[in-house]
Structure 1
């Protein structure tokens, strides 16, 4: 038990909140470049990959330069890598405005222009633009490592959950606006967005989807947790079981929640993430008419390289 709890560490919101807020602002700088990419349903094109060192944008190809931005949380820096070379921008104590200026100057040496917009989004009470955010913040390397560990562990479970789905599923990654880790499954059924939402939120809700993810929590709900929801929200979610003891439907939030504190105490937390996601998709099948026949076998590549297709097809998931 102790070894598992150490691998899946405790996440105390009050301890992590300052760094979560800081890193959320930092990753929006490189994240803005994703808005120039072709739009995927639900903004699947914008997610940041969870890497062995931090969070990284997709590769961008534009204006005569190919580049990517890597937020190396474990190294306290940001690396812009391109076909012309690479530059490193240290991250330490300071303001978002100062980081943004340093980032733009360093990226310019590689022929990378500033993002087309510097608006800060999805952070309550934030200044309007990066260059307006003059608040001095403290970089905490230990908290950065803890954040990366949580993202890395949750991503492993969510990637395993996604594997057998044969429909459209963007990469598992961090949505740099809300700063949650997301794994989403889509089907080609149009949905009606809520008219009072901003345009980017309406564009996220144009198609039906099932989303499972991880969040550090916020001031209103200060608990790290796995979350899930079905869009549009169907009837019949009350009273269901959700694959893991302790997971529950929260009607006020419109989410199924599995607290991190509960997850880390399960016999196999990674498999618990998979079971949680499977239960949510089963609910979508039973309450919203989602197809059950788009789920393939869940097995590793070695098995697929040596096992005839008929035997794989008959394998219990």
Structure 2
């Protein structure tokens, strides 16, 4: 078994994961408030780093501010372009306490604290400043989750290289707490009906303004009780739900309207990277073929380090 793909059973760290999700929402809202809007909300996401998750540089303060989750030393760290830095520990606390410490960190960096309001895309949201329930923090489980993110991020980035059309960065959306990568057909999509809990319809409709095939990774939650990979298409083409994805452990979830592949099926396979890539490629092909995407134009071979693509030659 590949030890780079750690065991991350969801139930033992469910409450810690919920807390980390809310903390990520709070910091994500800081980036959202200070960064000009980019298509599909790409300006608001996190990225996997060598130690956890980072906002990258946010345009605030004296030149810029970066906020990171250090999921090895279990810290929230902040750095400003003028040389200032600050941090506080991730440990058991309430969301309100985390909010207060984050505001203090921003102030020490010369950054701009906002009214961060309340979470999005969660049931029964409570304003951050009013959520005084004590939350646990299982540091070992958080580190295993980070190690899984690193492994998944590597495969998603490799998958991203075999597409010449518009494709998103590999990034973590703090609203639904999923690491995702999205391919675009190049065509506009029908108006999305909206209705995502605690998310303005205008945001959802802008995010799905164009046809997509999107894949991602959840640690658990969002309608699944264990870590899983997903893949969906918008708009969903006819026959999507009856198509047969690969590998054999993948299936279509009627409730979610998406293909799912359990993380455990990947982790326990003889070649986890190849197994995950098989799922990503298989479900993308289903979406692209049923949706009549121009695959001959949009696709290419998987990228190789230090090897430029040969232009004018079909490589896929």
TM-score normalized by the length of structure 2 = 0.90
Q: Report the Cα offset of residue 254 of structure 1.
A: 0.4
CA contact (8 A) 1:54 1:74 kept: yes
Q: Report the Cα offset of residue 135 of structure 1.
A: 0.8
2:227 maps to which residue?
Answer: 224
Deviations 1:238-274 (A, max 9, x none): 4423231211122222000111111112222112222
Q: Distance in 2 between matches of 1:313 and 1:89?
A: 53
Distance 1:219 1:184, change over 3 A: closer
Q: Report the Cα offset of residue 196 of structure 1.
A: 4.0
Q: Report the Cα offset of residue 284 of structure 1.
A: 1.9
Deviations 1:130-169 (A, max 9, x none): 1111111122110110110121111111111111212222
1:298 maps to which residue?
Answer: 302
Q: Secondary structure at the match of 1:226?
A: strand
Q: Distance in 2 between matches of 1:39 and 1:273?
A: 32
1:176 maps to which residue?
Answer: 174
Distance 1:226 1:112, change over 3 A: same
Q: Secondary structure at the match of 2:231?
A: strand
1:30 maps to which residue?
Answer: 27
2:280 maps to which residue?
Answer: 277
Q: Report the Cα offset of residue 281 of structure 1.
A: 1.8
CA contact (8 A) 1:33 1:116 kept: no
* Mapping of residues 14-53 of structure 1, within 5 Å: 14-36=11-33, 37-53=35-51
Distance 1:101 1:65, change over 3 A: farther
Which of 161, 164, 180 lines up with 2:162 in the alignment? 164
CA contact (8 A) 2:19 2:135 kept: yes
1:212 aligns with 2:211: no
1:9 maps to which residue?
Answer: 6
Q: Secondary structure at the match of 1:7?
A: coil
Distance 1:94 1:195, change over 3 A: closer
Q: Distance in 1 between matches of 2:116 and 2:187?
A: 31
Deviations 1:39-70 (A, max 9, x none): 33332222211111111113112354311100
Q: Distance in 2 between matches of 1:102 and 1:245?
A: 47
* Mapping of residues 69-84 of structure 1, within 5 Å: 69-84=67-82
Structure 1 unmatched ranges of 5 or more: none
- Number of residue pairs the alignment of both structures matches: 308
Q: Secondary structure at the match of 1:142?
A: helix
Q: Secondary structure at the match of 1:284?
A: helix
Q: Distance in 1 between matches of 2:314 and 2:270?
A: 27
Q: Secondary structure at the match of 2:56?
A: coil
Q: Distance in 2 between matches of 1:68 and 1:266?
A: 37
Q: Distance in 2 between matches of 1:234 and 1:40?
A: 27
Q: Give structure 1 regions of 4+ aligned residues with deviation exceeding 3 angstroms.
A: 62-65, 195-198, 312-315
TM-score normalized by the length of structure 1 = 0.90
Q: Secondary structure at the match of 2:216?
A: strand
CA contact (8 A) 1:65 1:112 kept: no
Q: Distance in 1 between matches of 2:28 and 2:51?
A: 17
Q: Report the Cα offset of residue 89 of structure 1.
A: 1.6
2:64 maps to which residue?
Answer: 66
Q: Distance in 1 between matches of 2:6 and 2:194?
A: 40
* Mapping of residues 42-121 of structure 1, within 5 Å: 42-62=40-60, 64-84=62-82, 85-121=84-120
1:235 aligns with 2:238: yes
CA contact (8 A) 1:246 1:258 kept: yes
